[in-house]
Structure 1
Amino acid sequence: MLSQALVRQGEFLFRWRGYLPLMLAPLVIYGLKDFQYYRDSHLYDILLEVACFAVAFTGLTIRFLVMGYAPAGTMGRNPEQARVLKTEGMYSLCRNPLYLGNFFIGLGVFLFLESALISLVYVLSFWLYYERIILGEETFLLRKFGEEYARWAERTPLIIPRLSDWQRPEEPFSWKRAVRREYRRFFAIIALMTLFEIGGDFVVTGELEFDGMWRVIFGFGLAAYLAVRFLKHHTTLLHVDR
């Protein structure tokens, strides 16, 4: 049956979901090859870059909130690791807030290439990729949690949040857990956009430049990444129960 085939595809894609950015690498190369400033204006280019940061960090904020409100026993790289069904906090707004966050992060990064075609290809690729992953996850969670999951899924949107459904979690927000889980993604956004900025300017001007503003942005991101990594691995300041 088609549904069973989609579930199997979803289970396979879930195991390899971290490689989606690599699959889209040719798209990035194509976009940089034909890069042009929006409306041939460096000012418009800067304004668009600000908008791209806003979109990407909207996604990061969503993920940050998910991680910070996630109680112990609910987070893991595989659905099988979940011991408790998450239905409060961000999971009261939609069933897949992490993937919603991923979507906005990726959209912000690909919009940076200033190509409507590339952004459209990203959106379609994301949907085809994650709809199968979601179907596989939901099939597993329905088997594991049964009627509890079915009732929650019936009243909770798939991925577009319904803000009026917000249910405050019983546990307080954990900045430590959120920072531990998202600091690498924070730096990845900055690093990718810095790379695209340098590559785009090179295509337009023919010169390899690293202007002052981007040096500050990249330097801040790198310093934050290294500081959090040190605190995570060499101190107990960011220790949390899993």
Structure 2
Amino acid sequence: MIRIGNFFFRYRNYLFIFLYLALFIPSPPIFSEHTFGPKYYLYPLIIGLCITFAGQLIRGATISLAYIVRGGKDKKVYAEQLVTHGIFAHCRNPLYVGNILML
């Protein structure tokens, strides 16, 4: 488990690129004019903006509630101490959660 965690930490910047590219994989339409009416295109837009805003709020709360000295050094896991207060008391890495929601 530690080896897997070290792998993801080392290549974390590249993993978000692949997650972002996966968003462009075609999928069947969920929202249609038949189901949601003539302004059906507004529903995914509003939902997407709300989820993106929630991700930004999580990132802002994380940064404002807990000061983080650094997350890594020379592509290795490094921290002076384990942060366990603020939003980190509920989620191990809320910055990544916010990033994924903003995708």
Q: TM-score, normalised by structure 2?
A: 0.70
Picking from 45, 48, 52, the partner of 1:49 is: 45
Cα distance in structure 2, aligned partners of 1:18 and 1:9: 15
Partner of 1:21: 16
Cα distance in structure 2, aligned partners of 1:99 and 1:61: 12
Partner of 2:63: 67
For residue 35 of structure 1, report the CA deviation from its aligned partner.
Answer: 6.9
Note the aligned Cα RMSD (angstroms).
2.5
Cα distance in structure 1, aligned partners of 2:4 and 2:92: 20
Aligned residue type for 1:62: I
Q: Runs of at least 4 residues of structure 1 off by over 6 A? A: none
Partner of 2:6: 11
**Matched residue pairs, number?**
95
Correspondence list, 1:104-123, <5 A: 104-106=101-103
CA separation of 1:42/1:94 partners in 2, compared to 1, >3 Å: closer, same or farther? same
Cα distance in structure 1, aligned partners of 2:63 and 2:54: 14
**Gap runs ≥5 in structure 2:** none
CA separation of 1:103/1:39 partners in 2, compared to 1, >3 Å: closer, same or farther? same
Correspondence list, 1:77-88, <5 A: 77-78=71-72, 79-80=77-78, 82-88=79-85
Cα distance in structure 2, aligned partners of 1:28 and 1:95: 25
CA separation of 1:28/1:62 partners in 2, compared to 1, >3 Å: closer, same or farther? closer
For residue 102 of structure 1, report the CA deviation from its aligned partner.
Answer: 2.8
CA separation of 1:30/1:75 partners in 2, compared to 1, >3 Å: closer, same or farther? same
CA separation of 1:93/1:9 partners in 2, compared to 1, >3 Å: closer, same or farther? closer
Cα distance in structure 1, aligned partners of 2:44 and 2:69: 35
Cα distance in structure 1, aligned partners of 2:38 and 2:17: 29
For residue 42 of structure 1, report the CA deviation from its aligned partner.
Answer: 6.1
Which entry has the higher C-alpha Rg, 1 or 2? 1
Partner of 2:32: 39
CA separation of 1:7/1:92 partners in 2, compared to 1, >3 Å: closer, same or farther? closer
Q: TM-score, normalised by structure 1?
A: 0.34
Aligned residue type for 2:59: R
Aligned residue type for 2:80: R
The structure carrying a bigger helix percent of its residues is: 1
Cα distance in structure 2, aligned partners of 1:68 and 1:42: 42
Larger RCO (CA within 8 A; separation ≥ 6): 2
Identity of aligned residues (%): 28
